[in-house]
Structure 1
Amino acid sequence: MIQIKDLHKSYHMGANSLHVLKGINFDVKEGELVSIMGSSGSGKSTLLNILGMLDEADEGSYTLDNVPIKNLNEKIAANYRNKFLGFIFQSFNLINYKSALDNVALPLYYQGVNRKERVEKAMHYLDKVGLAPWSHHLPNELSGGQKQRVAIARALASDPKVLLADEPTGALDTKTSHEVMELIQGINDDGKTILIVTHEHDIAKMTKRIVNLKDGVIIDDNFVQQVRATQYV
């Protein structure tokens, strides 16, 4: 599903250059649940931005579902993001003046789906995450865990090839974090490919593979015995 070959990324600040990614090689097969770990400055956020087509590497190649991701203008990049990727953010990134239903339906609007079908699909995914009764509530009427469930429903609404989750439990308490991970594990069990950037070891243990970055290189990449979130909930 994802092939990363010899990826390099530097940022230039005046006369100085910061080499953030230093030859990353990284493949993800369809249906995997992978966590990417590393301390601040390790390169994990830069890698996630490149995977999410929000930034582009200086060298190397990135292929997503057999499509080379290179030299994209913003319109094509946005089109590919909408087609291939679903995003889950630590801060939820919901639109405060729109209902849960409208937030979930938003990616479908950009895909040109008619309103009736948007509403039906949005309700389906809200139901999937257990929030159908809250469909007409605004984000400020929802708990942190509910907001993240809305964000997950929104990420699923366009049926993306890959879900990219950036610290999806970072703003949640432990119990709610485990409930969200139970949901993410269930989505992965249904066959969805998911990558999670996290600094929390207990969250990483709930994935099936842990990739550790340090100073812009992968220092280890191991398949692990997955801990089910239901053991904590």
Structure 2
Amino acid sequence: MIEITDLHKSYVMGTNTLHVLKGIDFTVNEGELVAIMGSSGSGKSTLLNILGMLDEADQGTYTLDGTLIHNLNEKIAARYRNKFLGFVFQSFNLISYKNALENVAMPLYYQGTKRNERNEKAMHYLEKVGLAEWATHLPNELSGGQKQRVAIARALASEPKVLLADEPTGALDSTTSYEVMEIIQSINDEGKTILIVTHEDDIAHMCKRIVNLKDGVIIDDSKISQVRVKATSHV
């Protein structure tokens, strides 16, 4: 599903050049649930930005679902993002003046889906994350956990090949974090490929594989025995 070979990325900082990614080789198969870990400055956010087509590598190749991602103009990058990727952010990134249903339906609007169909799909995904009753509520009427569930529903609405989650539990307490991870695990159980950037060890162990970055290189890449989240663990 994802294949990265000899990926390098540098940024010019005044008169200095900061070499952030230093030859990353990384493969993700369809249906995997992968945690990407590393301290601040390790390169994990840069890697996620490249995976999300928000930035481009200086060297190396990135192939997503058989498509080489290279030299994309913004219009094509936006189309590919909409086709291939769903994003979940730490800060939720919901539109404040749109209700939950309208937020979830947004990617479908950009895909040109008709209003009735996109509302139907949006409601389906709100039901999937347990928020059908909150469809008409604005983000400021929702708790942090509910906002993140809306964000997950929105990410799933366009039926992406890969879900990219950047610190999805970073703004949540531990009980709510586990509720969100329970949803992510159930989505992965259905076959969705998911990558999660996290600095939280317990969250990483709810995935099936942990990739550790340090100073721009992968220092460890291990399949692990997944810790399953049960509903009873956060009652």
Q: TM-score, normalised by structure 2?
A: 0.98
Quote the residue 2:66 is aligned against.
Answer: 66
Quote the residue 1:119 is aligned against.
Answer: 119
Quote the residue 1:225 is aligned against.
Answer: 225
- Provide the C-alpha distance between the structure 1 equivalents of 2:59 and 2:208, rounded to a whole number of angstroms: 29
Whichever residue aligns with residue 42 of structure 2, its letter is S
Quote the residue 1:177 is aligned against.
Answer: 177
SS at match of 2:27: strand
2:111 aligned with 1:142 = no
- Provide the C-alpha distance between the structure 2 equivalents of 1:197 and 1:14, rounded to a whole number of angstroms: 28
For residue 118 of structure 1, report the CA deviation from its aligned partner: 0.6
- Provide the C-alpha distance between the structure 1 equivalents of 2:102 and 2:222, rounded to a whole number of angstroms: 39
- Provide the C-alpha distance between the structure 1 equivalents of 2:101 and 2:157, rounded to a whole number of angstroms: 11
Quote the residue 1:30 is aligned against.
Answer: 30
For residue 14 of structure 1, report the CA deviation from its aligned partner: 2.2
SS at match of 2:30: coil
Quote the residue 2:76 is aligned against.
Answer: 76
Quote the residue 1:213 is aligned against.
Answer: 213
Q: TM-score, normalised by structure 1?
A: 0.99
Whichever residue aligns with residue 158 of structure 1, its letter is S
Q: Where do 5+ consecutive residues of structure 2 fail to align? A: none
For residue 229 of structure 1, report the CA deviation from its aligned partner: 1.3
SS at match of 1:213: strand
Alignment RMSD, CA only? 0.6
Q: Where do 5+ consecutive residues of structure 1 fail to align? A: none
Whichever residue aligns with residue 52 of structure 2, its letter is G
Identical counterparts, % of pairs: 79
Whichever residue aligns with residue 168 of structure 2, its letter is P
SS at match of 2:80: helix
- Provide the C-alpha distance between the structure 2 equivalents of 1:133 and 1:209, rounded to a whole number of angstroms: 34
SS at match of 1:102: helix
Quote the residue 1:166 is aligned against.
Answer: 166
Whichever residue aligns with residue 153 of structure 2, its letter is A
SS at match of 1:232: helix
2:74 aligned with 1:48 = no
- Provide the C-alpha distance between the structure 2 equivalents of 1:208 and 1:165, rounded to a whole number of angstroms: 15
Quote the residue 2:132 is aligned against.
Answer: 132
Moved beyond 6 Å, runs of 4+: none
Report 1:185-200 matches (<5 A): 185-200=185-200
For residue 101 of structure 1, report the CA deviation from its aligned partner: 0.3
SS at match of 1:176: helix
Whichever residue aligns with residue 222 of structure 2, its letter is N
For residue 232 of structure 1, report the CA deviation from its aligned partner: 3.1
SS at match of 2:127: helix
Whichever residue aligns with residue 195 of structure 1, its letter is L
- Provide the C-alpha distance between the structure 1 equivalents of 2:15 and 2:169, rounded to a whole number of angstroms: 38
- Provide the C-alpha distance between the structure 2 equivalents of 1:35 and 1:4, rounded to a whole number of angstroms: 16
- Provide the C-alpha distance between the structure 2 equivalents of 1:220 and 1:174, rounded to a whole number of angstroms: 26
SS at match of 2:109: helix
Deviations 1:194-214 (A, max 9, x none): 000000000000000000000
- Provide the C-alpha distance between the structure 1 equivalents of 2:13 and 2:124, rounded to a whole number of angstroms: 47
